[in-house]
Amino acid sequence: MAYRLLTTLILGLHFAFVAYVVFGGFLAWRWPRTIWLHLAAAAWGFVVVAASLQCPLTHAEDWSRRRAGETGVTVGFVDRYIEGVLYPERYAGLMQALAAAAVLGSWLGGYLLHRRRTRAMAR
């Protein structure tokens, strides 16, 4: 029972992390100091996708599922819970491009907002 709860917590954390990677740059518009945390998270997300690495959260989910007596995880988190569930698998490349556009757009918007604030304070 405890390992099933742990699996659920890991899944919730994983969903939150993926959402933060995609949309966390927009939080930096309100809290500019968080941009460094988002840069690190986005870099990690990029490396995991580009190098086909297994995320430690996926490894933790696999471990907790096995401890709970379930079958382990055979595919990654996005493949299992997002692709084919939130969008058709054939649009994976498009969705990755849209996620990258959201990240880069949030950074550009944050930069422009920061520049406008800096100019306003200088006046």
Beta bridge partners of 79: none
pTM of the model: 0.89
Indicate the DSSP class of residue 90: G
pLDDT of 41: 97
pLDDT averaged per 10 residues, the chain (length 123) = 94 96 97 96 94 92 94 88 90 94 97 94 88
pLDDT at 97: 95
Do 7 and 68 contact (CB within 8 A), yes or no?
Answer: yes
| Long-range contacts, stretch 29-33, CB < 8 angstroms, 24+ apart | 29/106, 29/109, 29/110, 29/113, 32/110, 32/114
Q: What is the pLDDT of residue 1?
A: 83
Q: Are 17 and 60 in contact (CB under 8 A)?
A: no
